[in-house]
Amino acid sequence: FFSCLFFSSLLAMASKHAASVQYLQKQGLPQFIDKMITSLVDANPDSPIDYLADWVDSMRPCHMSAVSITVVSGSRMQSAQPFKPMVMVALDRETRSTAPANSNDNPEWAENFVLPITEIDAAILQVSLLNADTSEVLGVGAVHLKPLPLMCHNVTLNVSLQMEGKEVGSVKLSLANAKPKEWMAIWGLGVQVNKAIGLIAADETGFSDPYVQLHVGDSMRQTSYKLQTLDPMWNEEFHFDINAEDADLPSLIMNVWDKDWGKDPDFLGSAVLDLNKIQPGEFWVTLQKKGRAEGTCGDLQITIKRGDERAAAVKMAAAPPKAAYSGPPKTRGLYVNILKGIDLLAMDDNGLSDPYVQVRLGPECRNSMIIEKTLNPEWNQRFIFPYDDDRSVLSIDVWDKDVEQDFLGWCSLDLKDVKHGAPLLLDVTKDNQKHGKIQLSVDKAPQSAWLPLYGLTVFVESCKDLKGQSHRLAADSYVQLEMGKQLLQTDVARMSLDPVYNHRIDLKIKTAKETLKFSVWDKVAPVPVLLGTCEVDVGALTLDGDSVQMPLEISKGGVLTGTLMVHFSPTPLTQQLKSVAKPLEHPEFLVEPLMAIRAKVVKCKGLPIMDVGGSCDAYVELVMGTALRRTQFVPDTCNPYFDEVFSIPVVDNKLVVNVWDHDDMGPELVGSAKISADKLVPASGSGHHELTLVNASAITGTVTLEIERMEMEDWLPMYGVAVTVVEASHLPAGVEPYVTLQNGSEEVVTGVCRGSRAEWNQSMPMSFTGGATLNVSVHDGSKKSCIGTATLNVYELPVAFKQAVERVVEIKDEYASQGEVTLRFQLSEPSEVAKAPKLQLVEDAPAGTQVKVHIVKANLKTEGRRNVFAQLRTGTTSYTSNTKRKTQIPIWRENCLMDWHEDEQLDITVWGRGDDGADHELLGEAQMPFFFPDDQQHAVDLSLNAAPAGQIHLQMVKANSPAGLVVQVLRCNGLVGGVGSMNRRDPYVQIVAGKEVRQTGVKFGTVDPVWIREQHTMVCTPVVEFIEFNVYHYTNFQPLLLGSGKLSVDVQGEKTVELTRQGKAAGTATVKVTHVAR
């Protein structure tokens, strides 16, 4: 339909229906034939735009989330005896069954079900006819959903049912794409906030600290905030429950705010999405703000998902399990031992077969190995199946492995009356004739074997006699569960010491020997406080019944702090879900996320001739976000071999491979290819990729890569971890503690705490280049002695999931325990940016002067507005600017750092980016001598295909800032204000240098705090001009800003910084700054 486009006809009627045509063009849809538009406009001449809007929305491509299935009736159902027929439909792992009909003579059901679709390409609807009295399967059929036009209208079809190759009847089904309300009412709504671009700059720095609030009805979810950016990346997922009784779905309202400490947030823009008209998929929404022109507030990208991880949570919460259940033991798992076959059918020309068996129990299927050239195969294989009363018929199909599979026969076994352990002989039948036998046995599987098939359902009911913090009358508590790499938590129970949670969490089990850790937290700002912990050995649970209730005593520092009431049960087979936990709002994985790869560039093949000599001087460039790797170039060949290996952090959703031809006048692009990040490496082993290179829609050769997953010990130093020392408890009386963290040669130290509470909340970055062991030691600042030590294995922390993880470590001396220290670990962003060797045949050139290039703006000669970004490249460094949306005059005002060498060229390219972020279009390019910086702004002419394409304005400044800083906060004086009638503060200082942020310890009850040994090492890039000092008053909620001040990075020694707040003097801070080499 979309291929029938007649542009000339549309242009001919543009004057008549100009508004309609412009609307279609704005939507980015194909321009349809004049007859189509004429009929649409004539159908509603008063408001053609509104009419077209509904029509355009109906024609948008979208993804099916669920299918609505109506089992209507049956016909031609043949049987020697009357029976009560029922129909079971299955899609993926979900099954639904109708009620039994009274007769098999043209039965009618008219029952409707909604089933989820995970992947439409593999969506096969299985239809089974059963005898309701015996649960015997009488016939099966299948429907592939992909070819059906379900997105356009309902589809009615008759599904033929067969058994042993014979037709036994048919079932009439009516299929349709499930409406949003239908699937949201069952599974809820999942919203993933991906990223935003081009937001409003609300801070004096020219950036914002944005976060997003999502509103659906009365429910609100909020993302984390991202510091100092106009193009934030969140990739955070949230769940909303939808009330099925509402007439219409509520709208999804997205508000973007700028986080401001000490004052109200700044509104950056909002957008609204009508949930009644959407299906799962990725959406760009334009933010709007009153008083600003459309398109100037930025754009937000979200992904709408089916919230199937919460499928049964609401039901479970509404009806908690009984207090105690001691039902009869159940068989949860079965071992099916396929022993051998006897006298099977011969299907090959040699008078033999290559037999294997396919064993089915319910929707579960297992295949045996293939025994070649025999009619009496011996398999001796054991398979484990989940088992319940609804899955009692074991079906075995026997096949001959060939180019086209040959069916050898089938047999079945009712497991309800089978004697376990005894060998059984089953007749293999085909076309109502016996063709050999299958010998097998069935055994009851132990819990350790079947529990991983089900998973573990934990219902956290309540907590009794919870002991909260001494200064709080009640607690806003929640329970966190940790098992292996899974870290989930319940909702928060507000203001109670006997909280009721009624929250269900489904956990996946790798082995039955895992340990489940419970921890109870008080949700207070700025950081939650641990109230108590306990552990449960999953292997020690007896789960043969329906549910097991356990009271779990939680404690902290050896002191009982409450009793959790928890129920354990196997996850029901029909509700094996990924996760039903909500508040962490991070995806939960069984496999650790891919954090870094080791990529080997093997070779290129079939490259085009790029040089006058009839060859190519090729090199390969690997780009993953800001990380760039480049091979040496291989001269004079179109089939170069490289065999170079690079370590690359996975910081983007794709790996871009560019092949360039090296030339003295500047590199020339040979071709490019891309790999999605989720396809880089298989679940196990390494990935081999032979990629086709494309340049201007022409194939220009291939490049071969070998990629493997890097282990945590290799990739962790590439990222680093922010380690926060939260607090210490149960320390000896009268000490003034400070904490030292040491990993290899790396060591960081907190400030000294004085007073009754040892709280720091001090975050310190660590690179962990010294291996897995983190040594924690607590010292007494007054006596200059060590109180105790502890060690922690960092590689056992689930930091790869990029969510904060807390650990309480016990501090011991050589005799006994001396207390506990609470640490929080948060994975940092990769510290490295693009690094690449200079393209030389022999050795790298010596490092030259570093130059700060200020990209000011561009004036482009394009047709219409584009999404524009600029790239700068020298022989050793490259930089890509932010994207400016929908403009012909992009204004960047960005600084980048480049290596300067004499006689070197600066390559400048300006690109247009597609709305989906994938397709790039060259808008202009230029090349200029990379001369020594003169602090002057230069207008550089751009060209495209030898035609003028506009100008770009650059300014070059010599970068002479120090490589690193050591900042020591000594004291503050005369901090303004007080709390209530008391003139006191609980101050701490935040130090900011570019993207580097450090924080001192808190000093309680003073306006003239003094810090000892508060020394912080910070990386200082040449684009940093000032060190900022922000003094805050610590509270359990949002910190209060007391005053701010700046200091130039060029100064050294002890300096006094004047603090101001809202234009008024707010005291002074005395600091000491030392410049250090990197």
Residues 546-557 pLDDT 10s = 678 889 999 988
Q: What angle do CA 1046, 1051, 1057 make, to 5 degrees?
A: 35
Residue 573, SS3 per DSSP? helix
* Neighbouring C-beta atoms of residue 34, cutoff 10 Å: 18
Q: Report whether pLDDT(564) > 90.
A: yes
The amino acid at 777: S
Crossing angle for the helix pair 48-59 and 34-43, to the nearest 10 degrees: 120
Band (1057; pLDDT cuts 50, 70, 90): very high
Q: Could you read off the pLDDT of 942-968 as tens digits, one per residue?
A: 888 888 888 888 887 665 555 678 888
* Residue 1030 near residue 1039, CB atoms below 8 Å: no
| pLDDT in the model for residue 983 | 62
Q: Could you read off the pLDDT of 391-415 as tens digits, one per residue?
A: 678 888 898 987 677 889 989 888 8
Q: Report whether pLDDT(713) > 90.
A: no
Segment 224-247 mean pLDDT:
83
Segment 657-677 mean pLDDT:
86
Q: Outline where DSSP puts E strands in 861-962.
A: 866-873, 878-880, 884-887, 891-900, 905-913, 920-929, 937-944, 947-958
The amino acid at 152: C
Q: Report whether pLDDT(378) > 60.
A: yes
Band (84; pLDDT cuts 50, 70, 90): confident
Q: Report whether pLDDT(842) > 50.
A: no
Residue 371, SS3 per DSSP? coil
| pLDDT in the model for residue 592 | 63
| pLDDT in the model for residue 11 | 41
| pLDDT in the model for residue 921 | 84
* Residue 209 near residue 265, CB atoms below 8 Å: no
| pLDDT in the model for residue 775 | 92
Q: Report whether pLDDT(566) > 90.
A: yes
Q: Report whether pLDDT(838) > 80.
A: no
What's the CA gap between 1060 and 686, in Å, rounded? 57
Segment 116-137 mean pLDDT:
78
What's the CA gap between 25 and 20, in Å, rounded? 9
Q: Could you read off the pLDDT of 177-231 as tens digits, one per residue?
A: 888 877 787 778 889 999 999 999 988 888 998 999 999 888 888 888 888 889 9
**536 - beta bridge partners?**
516
Q: What is the percentage of the chain residues whose pLDDT exceeds 90?
A: 15
| pLDDT in the model for residue 199 | 92
Average per-residue pLDDT for the chain:
79
Q: Report whether pLDDT(316) > 60.
A: no
Q: What angle do CA 185, 282, 6 make, to 5 degrees?
A: 115
Residue of higher predicted confidence among 904 and 896: 896
Residue of higher predicted confidence among 95 and 1077: 95
| pLDDT in the model for residue 3 | 38
- Tell me, rounded to whole angstroms, the distance of Cα 929 from its chain centroid: 43
Q: Could you read off the pLDDT of 931-948 as tens digits, one per residue?
A: 555 566 778 888 888 888
* Neighbour-count burial of 94, counting CB atoms closer than 10 A to its CB (0-12 exposed, 13-18 middle, 19+ buried): buried
What's the CA gap between 812 and 628, in Å, rounded? 46
Residue of higher predicted confidence among 730 and 197: 197
The structure's pTM equals 0.34
Segment 973-994 mean pLDDT:
73
Segment 3-11 mean pLDDT:
41
| pLDDT in the model for residue 864 | 80
Buried b (16+ CB within 10 A) or exposed e, 232-251: bbbebbbbbbbeeeeeebbe
| pLDDT in the model for residue 223 | 87
Segment 140-163 mean pLDDT:
81
| pLDDT in the model for residue 428 | 92
Q: What angle do CA 826, 832, 837 make, to 5 degrees?
A: 160
Segment 795-821 mean pLDDT:
81
Residue 620, SS3 per DSSP? strand
Q: Could you read off the pLDDT of 248-265 as tens digits, one per residue?
A: 788 899 999 998 876 778
| pLDDT in the model for residue 377 | 92
Q: Report whether pLDDT(541) > 60.
A: yes
Q: Report whether pLDDT(518) > 90.
A: yes
Q: Report whether pLDDT(22) > 80.
A: no
* Residue 959 near residue 983, CB atoms below 8 Å: no
Helix (DSSP H) and strand (DSSP E) numbers for the chain: 8, 65
Segment 416-444 mean pLDDT:
86
Segment 360-364 mean pLDDT:
78
Q: What is the CA radius of gyration of the chain?
A: 34
What's the CA gap between 857 and 433, in Å, rounded? 83
Torsion of CA 964, 970, 976, 977, to 10 degrees: 110
Q: What is the percentage of the chain residues whose pLDDT exceeds 70?
A: 80
Q: Report whether pLDDT(879) > 70.
A: yes
Band (1070; pLDDT cuts 50, 70, 90): very high
Q: Could you read off the pLDDT of 163-176 as tens digits, one per residue?
A: 877 888 888 989 88
- DSSP conformational letter for 277: G
- Tokens standing for 22? 């412009």
| pLDDT in the model for residue 589 | 33
Annotate 1010-1021 with DSSP letters as a single string.
B-SS-EEEEE--
What's the CA gap between 184 and 116, in Å, rounded? 11
Band (526; pLDDT cuts 50, 70, 90): low
- DSSP conformational letter for 514: -
Q: Could you read off the pLDDT of 984-1029 as tens digits, one per residue?
A: 778 889 998 877 888 888 888 888 888 876 788 887 766 677 899 9
